[in-house]
């Protein structure tokens, strides 16, 4: 019955008539909220099933129930026709459910090979761990799926995309009957994505049921057999992919049509140079990067994973040290190279890693929003809380930040609203240049268009927006000019109308 | 759905009234009240003026240092060297007083030394990136050794300055001077934390240092500031202690750091930073000192002065966790 | 068992032989002293006394500090034996903890002199009589109370239950006091930890509870001074109060006797003399001479300005007057020892 | 280097092992430097007698340090070990005095240690209280409890069993103290467990990233719970050795011992953040500090200088380590 990716020679007997996993009437409440209400989901062996929905639709809750992270309040879960009681990740793993979460679930200090076998170490005589077997098996597994990485490497030293692949490989190392992948491509390069799709198809061919969770419509159309859409914790539709179009899927997901994801309201960019970067190099990554960004312009930076976009973002705002080069904002040099000088000159970073670099999760919304501009609300060092809260309330209204009050702990907000709080932080401060790094990471379709509209508005108000992104549509939809990076170097800068997917990718490959 | 998810939360607690009575403070307040009632039923002298003043004076020293320590722990750092520094400060202050016969110079020397210790700790932690627990254990050892290199015997009071004696034993109206000083420092620190940008930044740096740095605030300076303030508080406390003992005692301050940290933690300040309040610290200090005092007043075995605070710290933290869970679930 | 017994015999034989061969004036080259708490003034002055005697006799003296930690004491003594000292002097951190050390020293043929506290299986100990010290001070305090305090004696004992020596002092004080004032009572028996800030803290609470206290007794100078400071901090006048300290450890008591009106009696224990005597005992042991199990080092209660008889004080350091101290006659035997305490 | 050894190197904890190996190499170098320095400057330092003495002295911190390091690696702290040393000596000595049986005495001590470990572990892992607070609390409670019970008196070992005395005085082949042998054996066993048993790797995983460990099917709470029990039992062994060395149950035993052990453990490269470090590193940290204090004693340096120098070395070593780590990441 079991499927072992390590030993593909063995024939696998799968009874295709019985669903691999069947969830019926699943309900889950959190205090005061119904996260899932009577949701059904059936995964057939050998089929690739896509699960779609906006953030907050209940996808991750459903997956977490499957993985045993959360308990369910109502409903049943059956595996191969037999009801199962999943109370912990351990139970779920025992049932052959392998979940690849969006956030990297690897021990950074362990070797890649050890991480592959985290869920069950092969042991030799007397119960000692058989390290030789671990390495050999990991190497064999990587070879089989065409994944080229040193099994002995320290996991934390690998780029995120490779870590993601390690995690996917881990799901294959043990007997799996159901493999769940939550946004697996969010940090993969195009090559890796196609590698991943090959692997997924092979899993299906082996009789494994695959649940593929994604926002990306094109991916879903490419790989899925069936699509289930959730909205507001309820089941909306389950249909074969053939019955869907882009529009019908989006409509199912958000309950309305989005006319245009990238509404452009701003005028043409000005000619004033707001940010100039000359010969920037860092010890880690960047080599001799030079460019200018103009007021009112969105300058998009594209690059594959590891091209150095985030490094560039952090270096130009003064967060990471540089070894050589000069950065000027409105003609003033960023000296000393520190964030406090940067912010004073009017350049700030909207980080890609909201949780560890942006939000103060325990603190209320208003304190998060006003962090960069507290000085403006200070009288003799005392915070004028009334005007502070008034100002924040203003942004909450303008940006339609959905929060019950200004005193809500920011960690309880949805990703999109958190992002809006962080954008407010910079707008309250008043910047000339804003560097946005992957602005829509972890944000659903509906909220995405709002973020895009905000970015458009920022540029319209005369800011220079430097946008780092790995999403081609975002790049083409928003940017006035497009810069492409490869391995720490700037390989091309082109106006939007000269850019095509093809020449951008060519420059990104270098 | 987003909205409904959010309305259930603890939002109202963040209002000022709620803040005052929020969370662990309530638990502590009840513990304190029960303690006071129980002790005074068993021993009515507990409520005598003399005893209340004695308790307050004992609280004063701890509260002074705990005020700084609360700020420091809110920034997610800790200082274990305060006990050793307390002894050293007293010796240095007394030595300078003896040679200059000037209270001002003595105080300045004490503050300068204690501030320098704080600065050193802060620099080691922020520049050299040494975990503050380890760094300040190191400083503690250096100070313990250093004080004996400085003086092998208690530094006696040769200057006979009346103003110096007043520092520890004097009164302002009916209130002992150390209590007045502690109240001032407490009020200053509480106001800083509650109402000023500086206070807000201290919480912010404890909650997420990187975010603070990215927002253009010098997070390292904030931590440095908290270390120096803690040091300065030790300076004040050290001088009051040496005045109370009429000598600079190199053996003083043993275990003082644990009392201070225990009081701060008991007051609900999180060791992980970003959360806590001085009101809680005040209650924490009072609870610990009332226990200490009560055990003597009741004539119980003084060894209970270690056992009872141990139980109270664990119990109070546990009750806080239980209460939080009840709020969430 | 047999093996260790035969070793014992052998070592005894060696000792006997070397004793026979040695002349009385044979000097050990090197003495190692493991002290309890070198940073305390008491031990500082013990060490001073040892150093001056060792210098006189041309002996090299090395000092190690256990810093109140028995484990460290054992380590330090092991180090000394590895280094090859001729005699060990040890101030036990406490009575029970050095038993294995004595065993080791015996098997290494290193004679041991104990200072301060007795230990099962010891050869000899140099110590004051703690009970007697407290007792004589108690008698003096009784006389003072009869004359100046209207014959009342309500005592706050700032004690240290940690050590039997300090418990004996407190007992002795009360017993001596009662010979003059039979209805003297100990209103509070406190654990002042032997250090001034703790003593100050616990005394404050006790003084607040019992306003009728009129005698403060401290088992060392830090304790009595801590108690007195608590009294002063409570804003009380020192009229009608008597403070009695013990030890005469350093400068603190001289300062207090000069400046504090209530600090009238000090039970002086002359740490320098104790160190001096310990070196003499070490020399005797080295030469295999008979020594009593308890060599008593003298103590004396000092009233008012009596301390000037024994010490020169120039404002920063004190100097012992050896002639006066060496002239003191210690008792042959203590009235009470820690052995009596255990009964 | 043979092929097999490179194999295990790479396949095992691999990169980590290699990284740590380098760290351990630096520590070893440090230790050799310390020994070399004092061999030239301190009299009788480099003698079999002195070095084996130091090993005997180090046995306490080594044994307790294993537990301390394991708890650190699991992402928690245990500062109650000093008080525990004093606590478990009570049943040990009292039972031995009553029954004249070493086995019963040790069983009693281990049972006490087990109970303390269960309390610490339960309050941390299951009740969810910060371990620093829990063990700070139990540290106070145990010390106060010992004082209360004993009336601040040490309890002598009246039974004086030969087998117990051998723990203090006995030496294997008349050279290595038995206490050191016990510490080394325990060290070897636990080093093996931490590197080559699934349970050991679970501890690393739990400390490295508890959420990941939970998703991998580990019972994070039980792992942490077990770590506290291991720590308490090892501290119990250290307490038994200490009781033998001082021939009694000392109410003040182990005061500040936790600071010594924590300092040595961190010096040995075990991170307070969890998931990083090795027992070998911890052992080298202990030995460095122990030889240092022995050497400083040998030089006749007074306590105050020993304190100052030890404090400086701890700060400098951790700062150096941190700088190295940052450079490794930055480069």
Which string of DSSP letters, residue by residue, matches D119-177? HHHIIIIIS---HHHHHHHHHHHHHHHHHHHHTS--EE--S--HHHHHHHH-EETTTEE
Q: What is the pLDDT of residue B114?
A: 96
pLDDT tens profile D200-227: 999 999 998 898 898 888 999 999 999 9
What gap in Å lies between CA A414 and CA D102, rounded to an integer? 63
Contacts of A119 in chain D (CB under 8 A): 216-217
- What pLDDT sits at residue C36? 87
CA torsion, points B105, B111, B114, B119, in degrees to nearest 10? -120
Partner-chain residue, chosen from A232, A371, A407, that has the shortest CB–CB distance to B14: A407
Q: Do C71 and C177 fall within a single domain?
A: no
For residue D321, is pLDDT > 80?
no
Q: Do B215 and A372 touch (CB under 8 A)?
A: yes
Higher pLDDT, D153 or D62: D62
Task: Walk me through the domains of chain D, giving residue ranges and CATH numbers.
Answer: 7-328 (1.10.3470.10)
Closest-CA residue to D82 (of D116, D107, D52, D54): D116
Instruction: Flag whether the ipTM exceeds 0.85.
Output: no
Q: Do C60 and C124 belong to one domain?
A: yes
Range of the domain at C148: 130-268+337-342
Mutate which: B87, B121, B134, B136, vs D, most D CBs within 10 A: B134
Same domain, C291 and C279: yes
Q: What is the pLDDT of residue B253?
A: 83
* Contact state of B153 with C41 under an 8 Å Cβ cutoff: yes
Chains C and A touch (3+ CB pairs under 8 A): no
If pLDDT is split at 50, 70 and 90, which confidence band does A335 have? confident
CB of A110 within 8 Å of any CB in chain D?
A: yes
Q: Residue C141: name the closest of C194, C178, C188, C169 by CA.
A: C178
| B16 pLDDT more than 70 | no
What's the token pair of residue A261?
């994801």
Which of A165-179, A329-343, B268-282 shows the lowest per-residue confidence on average (mean pLDDT)?
A165-179
Q: Are residues C19 and C139 in the same domain?
A: no
SS3 category, B48? coil
**B48, B51, B54, B85: which to substitute to probe chain C, counting the most C Cβ within 10 Å?**
B54
Do residues C138 and C257 both lie within one domain?
A: yes
pLDDT band at B22 (very low <50, low <70, confident <90, very high): low
The span from the first CA to the last CA of chain D, in angstroms, equals 28
- The count of structural domains within chain C is 2
- The answer to whether B207 contacts A409, with C-beta atoms less than 8 Å apart, is no
Q: Does B328 touch chain A (CB under 8 A)?
A: yes
pLDDT-above-90 percentage for chain A: 26
- Residue A31 pLDDT: 64
Using DSSP, state whether A435 is helix, strand or coil. strand
pLDDT at B4: 35
Element (H, E) at C313: strand C311-313
User: Could you tell me which of A114, A172, B137, A116 has the C-alpha nearest to residue D275?
Assistant: A114
Q: Which chain B residues are closer than 8 Å to A417 by Cβ?
A: 2
Of D23 and A272, the structure prediction assigns the larger pLDDT to A272
Copy the structure tokens of residue D311: 């404090």
* Residue C213, domain member (yes or no): yes
pLDDT at position D265 over 80: yes
Do residues C26 and C102 share a domain? Answer: yes
User: Which residue of B211, B212, B221, B274 is the best one to mutate when testing the A interface, meaning the one whose CB has the most A CBs within 10 A?
Assistant: B211
**C178 located within any domain:** yes
Helix (H), strand (E) at residue A78:
strand A74-79
List of chain B residues whose C-beta atoms are within 8 Å of the C-beta of residue C206: 296
Minimum distance, in Å, between the CA of residue B130 and any CA atom of chain C: 28
| Residue C305 within a domain | no
* Residue A135 parent element (H or E): helix A131-145
Mean pLDDT of D291-298: 86
Contact residues, chain C, for B154 at CB < 8 Å: 41, 196, 222, 250-252
Residue A357 has what DSSP assignment?
I
pLDDT-based confidence at residue A1 (cuts at 50, 70, 90): very low
Quick one: which of A419, A413, A428, A410 has its CA closest to A453?
A419
C-alpha–C-alpha distance, residues A162 and A147, integer Å: 9
Q: What's the whole-number average pLDDT of chain D?
A: 86
Q: Can you read off the two tokens belonging to residue C23?
A: 């002349």
Higher pLDDT, B17 or D120: D120
Q: How does the average pLDDT of chain A come out, rounded?
A: 85
Instruction: Please answer whether residues C24 and C83 qualify as being in contact, where contact means their C-beta atoms are separated by less than 8 angstroms.
Output: no
User: Sign of the CA dihedral A137, A139, A145, A147?
Assistant: positive
Distance separating alpha carbons of residues B301 and D148, to the nearest angstrom: 7
- Looking at residue A14, its pLDDT comes to 62
Interface B-C: count of C-beta contacts within 8 A: 110
Higher pLDDT, A269 or A228: A228
What is the rounded distance in angstroms from the CA atom of residue C224 to the CA atom of residue C221?
Answer: 5
Q: Work out the minimum CA distance from C224 to partner chain B, whole angstroms.
A: 11
> According to the model, what pLDDT value does residue B7 have?
33
> Is residue C170 located within the same domain as residue C279?
no
From chain D, which residues contact A within 8 Å (Cβ)? 7-8, 10-16, 19, 196-198, 201, 204-205, 208-209, 211-219, 275-276, 330-331
Reported as a single tens digit per residue, the pLDDT across C113-145 is: 999 878 878 889 898 999 999 999 999 999 999
CA of B277, closest CA in chain C: separation in Å? 27
Mutation target for D interface from B145, B146, B284: give the one with most D CBs within 10 A: B145
Q: What is the mean pLDDT of residues A164-173?
A: 82
C255-276 pLDDT per residue, tens: 889 889 999 999 999 999 999 9
Task: Give me the mean pLDDT over the A367-382 stretch.
Answer: 89
User: Do C48 and C151 reside in the same domain of the chain?
Assistant: no
* A2-11, A352-361, B77-86, D305-314: range with lowest mean pLDDT: A2-11
The closest alpha carbon to D282, from D194, D168, D158, D176, belongs to D194
CATH no. for residue C26? 3.40.50.2300
Over residues B232-242, the mean pLDDT reads 95
C144/C263 same-domain check: yes
All partners of chain B with 3 or more CB pairs under 8 angstroms: A, C, D
Q: Give the whole-angstrom CA distance, residue A89 versus residue A78.
A: 16
Tell me which DSSP letter residue A123 carries.
B
Whether pLDDT at D12 is above 60: no
Reported confidence tier of residue D300, pLDDT bands at 50, 70, 90: confident
Is the same domain home to C135 and C222? yes
Q: Are A152 and A172 in contact (CB under 8 A)?
A: no
Q: Is residue C93 part of a domain?
A: yes
Q: How confident is the model at residue B6 (pLDDT cuts 50, 70, 90)?
A: very low
CB-nearest to C196 from B169, B249, B296 is: B249
Instruction: Find out whether the peptide bond into A336 is cis, omega within 30 degrees of 0.
Output: yes
Lowest mean pLDDT among A9-13, B39-43, B110-114: A9-13
Q: How far is the alpha carbon of C283 from chain D, nearest alpha carbon, in Å?
A: 22
Task: Give the confidence band of A274 by pLDDT, cuts at 50, 70, 90.
Answer: very high
Same domain? For C145 and C194 the reply is yes
Taking the C-alpha atoms of residue A110 and residue A129, their distance in angstroms, rounded to an integer, is 14
B328: pLDDT confidence band, cut at 50, 70 and 90? low
- Chain C residue nearest residue B250, CA to CA: C39
Interface of C with D (CB under 8 A): 1, 38-39, 62-65, 67-71, 74-76, 78-79, 82-84, 93-100, 103-104, 107, 120, 161-162, 164
In the three-class reduction of DSSP (H, G, I as helix; E, B as strand; rest coil), residue A350 is classed as: strand
User: Residues C258, C142: one domain?
Assistant: yes
Q: What is the dihedral of CA D132, D134, D136, D141, to 10 degrees?
A: -170
Counting CB pairs under 8 A, whether chains D and B reach 3 or more, is yes
Half-sphere exposure of A195 (CA within 13 A, CB side): 19
Q: Is C213 on the interface with B (CB under 8 A)?
A: no
pLDDT at D279: 93
Paired residues of A464 in beta bridges: A433
Q: Do C97 and D302 touch (CB under 8 A)?
A: no
pTM: 0.83
């Amino acid at each position: 019955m079991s499927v072992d990716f390590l030993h593909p020679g063995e024939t696998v007997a799968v009874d295709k008539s019985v669903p691999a996993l069947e969830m019926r009437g699943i309900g889950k409440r959190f205090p005061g909220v119904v996260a899932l209400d009577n949701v059904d989901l059936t995964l057939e062996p050998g089929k690739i099933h896509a699960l779609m929905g906006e953030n907050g639709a209940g996808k991750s809750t459903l997956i977490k129930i499957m993985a045993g992270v959360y308990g369910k309040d109502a409903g049943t879960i059956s595996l191969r026709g037999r009801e199962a009681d999943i109370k912990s990740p351990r139970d779920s793993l025992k049932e052959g459910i392998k979940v690849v979460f969006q956030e990297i679930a690897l021990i950074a200090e362990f070797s890649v090979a050890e991480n592959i076998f985290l869920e069950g170490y092969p042991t030799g005589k007397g119960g000692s761990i058989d390290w030789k077997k671990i390495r050999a098996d990991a190497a064999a597994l990587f070879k089989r799926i065409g994944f080229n990485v040193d099994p002995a490497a320290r996991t934390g030293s690998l780029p995120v995309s490779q870590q993601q692949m390690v995690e996917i490989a881990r799901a294959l190392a043990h007997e799996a009957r159901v493999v769940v992948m939550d946004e697996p491509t969010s940090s993969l390069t195009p090559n890796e994505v196609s590698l991943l799709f090959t692997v997924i198809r092979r899993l299906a061919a082996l009789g494994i049921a695959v649940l593929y969770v994604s926002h990306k419509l094109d991916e879903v159309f490419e790989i899925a057999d069936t699509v289930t859409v959730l909205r507001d914790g309820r089941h909306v539709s389950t249909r074969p992919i053939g019955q869907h179009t882009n529009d019908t899927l989006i409509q199912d997901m958000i309950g309305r049509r989005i006319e245009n994801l990238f509404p452009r309201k701003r005028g043409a960019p000005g000619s004033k140079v707001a940010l100039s970067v000359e010969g920037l190099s860092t010890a880690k990554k960047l080599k001799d990067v030079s460019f200018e960004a103009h007021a009112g312009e969105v300058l998009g930076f594209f690059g594959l994973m590891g091209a150095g976009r985030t490094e560039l973002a952090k270096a130009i705002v003064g967060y990471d040290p540089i070894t050589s080069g000069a950065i000027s904002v409105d003609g003033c040099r960023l000296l000393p190279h520190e964030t406090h000088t940067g912010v004073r000159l009017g350049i700030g970073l909207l980080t890609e890693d909201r949780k560890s670099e942006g939000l103060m999760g325990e603190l209320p919304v208003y304190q998060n929003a006003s962090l960069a501009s507290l000085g403006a609300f200070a009288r003799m060092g005392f915070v004028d809380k009334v005007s502070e809260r008034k100002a924040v309330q203003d942004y909450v209204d303008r940006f339609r930040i959905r929060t019950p009050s200004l005193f809500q702990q920011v960690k309880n907000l949805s990703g999109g609203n958190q992002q809006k709080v962080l954008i407010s932080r910079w707008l309250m401060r008043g910047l000339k240049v804003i560097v946005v790094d992957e602005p829509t990471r972890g944000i659903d379709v509906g909220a995405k268009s709002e973020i895009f509209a905000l970015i458009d508005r920022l540029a319209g108000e005369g800011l220079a927006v430097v946008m780092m992104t790995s999403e081609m549509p975002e790049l083409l939809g928003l940017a006035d000019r497009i810069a492409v990076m490869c391995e720490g170097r700037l390989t091309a800068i082109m106006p939007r109308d000269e850019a095509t997917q093809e020449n951008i990718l060519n420059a990104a490959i270098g | 759905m987003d909205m409904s998810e959010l309305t259930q939360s603890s939002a109202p607690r963040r209002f000022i009234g709620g803040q005052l009575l929020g969370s662990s403070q309530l638990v502590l307040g009840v513990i304190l009240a029960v303690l006071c009632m129980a002790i005074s039923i068993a021993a009515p002298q507990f409520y005598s003026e003399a005893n209340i003043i004695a308790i307050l004076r004992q609280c004063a020293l701890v509260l002074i240092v705990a005020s700084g320590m609360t700020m420091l722990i809110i920034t997610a750092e800790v200082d274990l060297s305060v006990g050793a520094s307390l002894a050293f400060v007293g010796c240095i202050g007394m030595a300078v007083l003896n040679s200059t016969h000037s209270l001002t110079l003595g105080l300045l020397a004490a503050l300068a030394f204690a501030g320098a210790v704080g600065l050193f700790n802060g620099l080691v932690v922020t520049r050299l990136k040494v975990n503050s627990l380890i760094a300040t254990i190191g400083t503690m050892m250096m100070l313990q050794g250093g004080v004996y290199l400085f003086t092998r015997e208690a530094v006696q009071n040769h200057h006979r300055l009346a103003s110096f004696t007043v520092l520890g034993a004097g009164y302002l109206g009916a209130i002992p001077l150390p209590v007045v000083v502690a109240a001032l420092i407490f009020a200053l620190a509480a106001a800083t934390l509650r109402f000023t940008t500086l206070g807000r930044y201290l919480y912010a740096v404890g909650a997420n240092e990187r975010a603070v740095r990215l927002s253009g605030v010098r997070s390292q300076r904030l931590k440095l500031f908290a270390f120096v303030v803690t040091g300065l508080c030790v300076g004040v406390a050290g001088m009051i202690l040496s005045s109370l003992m009429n000598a600079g005692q190199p053996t003083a301050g043993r275990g003082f750091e644990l009392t201070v940290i225990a009081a701060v933690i008991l007051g609900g300040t999180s060791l992980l930073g970003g959360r806590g309040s001085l009101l809680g610290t005040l209650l924490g200090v009072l609870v610990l000192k009332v226990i200490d005092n009560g055990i003597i007043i009741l004539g119980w075995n003084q060894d209970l002065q270690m056992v009872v605070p141990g139980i109270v710290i664990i119990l109070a933290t546990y009750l806080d966790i239980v209460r939080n869970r009840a709020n969430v679930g | 068992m047999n093996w260790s017994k035969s070793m014992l015999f052998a070592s005894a034989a060696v000792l006997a032989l070397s004793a026979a061969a040695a002349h009385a004036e044979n000097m050990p080259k090197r003495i190692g002293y493991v002290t309890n708490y070198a940073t305390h003034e008491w031990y500082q002055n013990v060490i001073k006394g040892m150093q001056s005697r060792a210098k006189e006799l041309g002996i090299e003296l090395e000092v190690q500090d256990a810093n109140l930690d028995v484990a460290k004491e054992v380590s330090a003594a092991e180090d000394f034996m590895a280094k090859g000292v001729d005699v060990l002097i040890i101030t036990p951190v406490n009575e029970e903890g050095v038993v294995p050390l004595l065993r080791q020293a015996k098997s290494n043929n290193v004679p041991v002199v104990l200072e301060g506290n007795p230990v099962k299986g010891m050869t000899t100990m140099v110590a004051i009589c703690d009970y007697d010290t407290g007792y004589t001070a108690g008698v003096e305090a009784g006389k003072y109370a009869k004359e100046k305090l209207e014959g009342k004696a309500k005592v706050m004992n700032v004690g240290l239950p940690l050590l039997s020596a300090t418990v004996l002092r407190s007992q002795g004080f009360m017993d001596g006091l009662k010979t003059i004032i039979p209805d003297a009572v100990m209103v509070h028996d406190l654990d002042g930890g032997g250090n001034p800030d703790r003593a100050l803290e616990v005394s404050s609470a006790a003084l607040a509870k019992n306003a009728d206290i009129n005698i403060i007794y401290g088992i060392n100078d830090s304790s009595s001074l801590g108690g007195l400071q608590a009294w002063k901090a409570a804003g009380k006048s020192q009229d009608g109060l008597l403070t009695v300290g013990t030890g005469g450890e350093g400068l603190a008591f001289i300062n207090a006797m000069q400046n504090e009106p209530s600090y009238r009696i000090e039970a002086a224990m002359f740490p320098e003399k104790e160190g001096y005597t310990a070196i003499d005992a070490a020399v005797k042991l080295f030469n295999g001479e008979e020594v009593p199990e308890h060599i008593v080092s003298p103590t004396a209660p000092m009233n008012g300005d009596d301390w000037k008889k024994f010490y020169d004080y120039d404002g920063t350091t004190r100097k012992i007057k050896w002639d006066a101290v060496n002239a003191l006659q210690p008792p042959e035997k203590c009235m009470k020892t820690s052995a009596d305490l255990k009964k | 280097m043979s092929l097999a050894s490179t194999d295990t190197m790479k396949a095992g904890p691999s990169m980590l092992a290699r990284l740590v190996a380098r760290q351990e190499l630096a520590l070893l170098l440090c230790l050799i430097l310390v020994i070399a320095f004092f061999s030239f400057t301190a009299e009788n330092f480099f003698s079999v007698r002195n070095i084996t003495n130091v090993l005997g002295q180090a046995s306490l911190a080594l044994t307790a340090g294993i537990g301390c390091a394991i708890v650190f690696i699991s992402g928690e702290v245990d500062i109650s070990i000093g008080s525990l040393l004093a606590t478990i000596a009570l049943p040990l000595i009292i039972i031995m005095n009553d029954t004249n049986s070493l086995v019963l005495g040790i069983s009693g001590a281990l049972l006490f240690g087990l109970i303390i470990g269960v309390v610490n572990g339960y309050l941390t892992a299951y009740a969810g209280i910060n371990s620093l607070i829990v063990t700070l609390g139990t540290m106070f409670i145990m010390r106060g409890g010992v004082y209360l019970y004993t009336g601040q008196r040490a309890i002598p070992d009246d039974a004086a069993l030969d087998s117990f005395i051998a723990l203090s005085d006995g030496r294997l082949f008349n050279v290595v103290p038995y206490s050191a042998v016990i510490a080394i054996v325990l060290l070897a066993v636990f080093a093996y467990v931490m590197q080559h048993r699934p349970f050991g790797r679970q501890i690393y995983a739990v400390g490295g990233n508890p959420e990941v460990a939970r998703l991998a099917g580990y019972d994070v709470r039980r792992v942490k719970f077990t770590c506290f029990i291991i720590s308490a039992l090892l501290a119990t062994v250290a307490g038994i050795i200490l009781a033998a060395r001082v021939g009694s149950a000392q109410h003040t035993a182990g005061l500040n011992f936790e600071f010594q052990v924590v300092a040595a453990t961190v010096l040995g490269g075990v991170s307070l953040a969890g998931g990083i470090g090795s027992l070998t590193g911890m052992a080298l940290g202990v030995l460095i500090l122990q030889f240092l204090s022995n050497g400083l004693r040998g030089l006749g340096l007074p306590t105050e200088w020993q304190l100052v120098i030890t404090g400086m070395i701890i700060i400098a070593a951790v700062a150096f380590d941190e700088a190295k780590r940052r450079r490794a990441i930055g480069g």
